[in-house]
């Protein structure tokens, strides 16, 4: 039995069950269009059942010794290792992920599970002094309770687990809604791993559904206190608005429009390698991808020739072939949107140094240059295999161009002088930026998140404690207080 037969259900209070909604989500392989699964969506009643199950289970789970909670993550790591080949096949089939992409995702999944294992022990309290000699102030770090997680389609297993694992490690329960294009890798698979790892029923629940069926019930429900959302800034704005109206905390990891800057003293060959990976990993469907390649004019010709030559060597095709570099986009609608954007940009005067052909969801890489500063494509997240080369004259112009976007997630600076790179990096309005490296990075200990339209809050490391716990002040009067009346 494949994961697409076994896991095509809702997972509520430890039971795999069918939804009761009015329609089915059909899960397709984006490469060949094969039907992988059909899942009847969860309705509002199932959303309530999932949150109520989480609420009941959370009280007992929070009382479990953190050292004991860690054992779940040790077993989860073993489950991932034991089922690596099946998980890899599922990522390829459902996401269109190449072998490189699947290996990259699984590597990070393991790293984040290891971090969650240690995170269970890091919710430290404090004792603070008081002006009253007989009074003691204790600050406790307690679980927030129940967390709602909404995950995207591009790295679904990782980006679901990235919020689910730390929330559970810190004593919370979770209701997870995966993206409808990746309900198995982003939802059922996560539940299966933790079920096999011995997580008690109800601590993690997965609902496969859509706003067309449930409206804002997932956010408005009175049980969850924190909503963790990863996706587009448009949807993130809506999530934030609804959550705020119900006094819920949010952590929002949204889109990006990263710039990879090549200064005049950079190693061009190395910068080309970094740029090709940063732009085309997973067909460019990565929030940290280098949409814009800013190159000092003195290096523009050399960089462009080498970059285009390397891009032309990338193999486009079946993601199941281990030699493939570029697989399919997630669906035909995304492929059509990328092509329409390309056609409009060229019609507006851009030069296509490379114009990739499209066959179904397979979109071969394109490289554009000669863009005007007000070209609409420069201000948006492309989420496809399209690279934009923009020349600049000197650091000041590089910084100005890099910041000329409503987004601020990631970036990179290439230079022969590390401290020069750091000085430039500090001036770029992003939450993350890398000197002499690519733009696509994630590490479990380092705060991950963006500025401007790229999100609110941070994930990873100690930031998870801020997000998924709350501070409680308990004072103890060892003597007797004096009251004014």
* Nearest partner of 112 among 149, 166, 152, 192, judged by Cα: 166
Return the ∠ at Cα 182 (arms to 434 and 384), rounded to 5°.
45
Residue 113 backbone dihedrals phi, psi, to 5 degrees: -65, -40
Contact assessment for residue 287 and residue 255, using Cβ atoms and an 8 Å cutoff? yes
* Active-site residue, selected from the candidate residues 94, 195, 253, 381: 253
Residue 185 backbone dihedrals phi, psi, to 5 degrees: -65, -35
* Nearest partner of 156 among 362, 13, 3, judged by Cα: 3
* Active-site residue, selected from the candidate residues 105, 115, 213, 287: 287
Contacts of 311 (CB under 8 A, 6+ apart): 276, 280, 354, 365, 367, 387
95 is catalytic: no
Provide the 8-state DSSP code for 348: T
- Exposed e or buried b per residue across 322-338, where buried means at least 16 C-beta atoms within 10 angstroms of its C-beta: eebbbbbbbbeebbeeb
Long-range contacts of 402-405 (CB under 8 A, 24+ apart): 402/259, 402/261, 402/292, 402/294, 402/428, 403/427, 403/428, 403/429, 404/373, 404/378, 404/379, 405/257, 405/259, 405/292, 405/378, 405/379, 405/452
Burial zone of 48 (CB within 10 Å; 0-12 exposed, 13-18 middle, 19+ buried): middle
What would the DSSP string read from start to end of 425-478? Answer: HHTS--S--EETS-S----TTS-B--EETTEES-BSTTHHHHHHEEEEEEEEES
Q: Helices in 246-361 by DSSP H: which ranges?
A: 268-280, 300-312, 332-347
Q: Is the dihedral of CA 340, 152, 354, 265 positive or negative?
A: positive
Bridge-based pairing of strands 469-477 and 135-143 is antiparallel
Q: What is the CA radius of gyration of the chain?
A: 24
253 is catalytic: yes
Catalytic residues: 253, 287
């Amino acid at each position: 039995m494949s994961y697409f037969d076994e896991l095509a259900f809702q997972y509520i209070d430890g039971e795999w069950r069918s939804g009761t909604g009015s329609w089915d989500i059909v899960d397709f392989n984006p490469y060949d269009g094969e039907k992988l699964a059909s899942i009847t969506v969860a309705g509002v009643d199932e959303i309530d059942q999932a949150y109520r199950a989480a609420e009941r289970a959370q009280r007992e789970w929070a009382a479990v010794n953190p050292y004991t909670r860690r054992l779940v993550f040790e077993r989860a790591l073993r489950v991932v290792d034991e089922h690596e080949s099946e998980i890899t096949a599922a990522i390829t089939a459902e996401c269109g992920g190449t072998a490189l992409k699947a290996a990259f995702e699984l590597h990070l999944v393991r790293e984040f599970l290891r971090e969650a294992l240690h995170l269970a022990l890091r919710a430290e309290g404090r004792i603070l002094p008081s002006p009253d000699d007989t009074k003691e102030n204790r600050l406790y770090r307690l679980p927030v309770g129940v967390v709602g997680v909404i995950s995207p389609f591009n790295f679904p297993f990782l980006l679901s687990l990235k919020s689910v694992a730390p929330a559970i490690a810190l004593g919370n329960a979770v209701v997870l809604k995966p993206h409808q294009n990746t309900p198995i890798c982003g939802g059922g698979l996560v539940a299966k791993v933790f079920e096999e790892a011995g997580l008690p029923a109800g601590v993690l629940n997965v609902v496969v559904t859509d706003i067309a069926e449930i409206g804002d019930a997932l956010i408005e429900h009175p049980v969850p206190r924190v909503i963790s959302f990863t996706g587009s800034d448009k949807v993130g704005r809506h999530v934030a608005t609804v959550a705020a109206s119900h006094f819920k905390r949010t952590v929002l990891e949204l889109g990006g429009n990263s710039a990879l800057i090549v200064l005049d003293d950079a190693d061009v060959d190395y910068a080309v390698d970094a740029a090709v990976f940063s732009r085309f990993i997973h067909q460019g469907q990565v929030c940290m991808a280098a949409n814009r390649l800013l190159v000092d004019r003195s290096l523009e010709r050399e960089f462009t020739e080498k970059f285009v030559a390397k891009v032309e060597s990338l193999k486009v095709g079946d993601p199941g072939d281990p030699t493939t570099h570029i697989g399919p986009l997630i669906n035909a609608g995304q492929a059509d949107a990328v092509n329409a954007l390309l056609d409009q940009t060229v019609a507006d005067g851009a030069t296509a140094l490379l114009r990739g052909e499209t066959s179904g969801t397979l979109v071969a890489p394109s490289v554009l240059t000669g863009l005007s500063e007000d070209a609409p494509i420069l201000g948006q997240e492309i989420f496809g295999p399209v690279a934009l080369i923009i020349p600049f004259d000197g650091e000041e112009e590089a910084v100005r161009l890099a910041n000329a976007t409503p987004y601020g997630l990631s970036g990179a600076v290439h230079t022969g002088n590390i401290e020069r790179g750091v000085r430039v990096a500090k001036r770029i309005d992003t939450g993350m930026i890398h000197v002499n490296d690519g733009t696509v990075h994630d590490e479990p200990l380092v705060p991950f998140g963006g500025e401007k339209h790229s999100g609110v809050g941070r994930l990873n490391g100690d930031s998870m404690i801020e997000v998924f716990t709350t501070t409680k002040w308990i004072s103890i009067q060892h003597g007797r207080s004096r009251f004014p009346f």
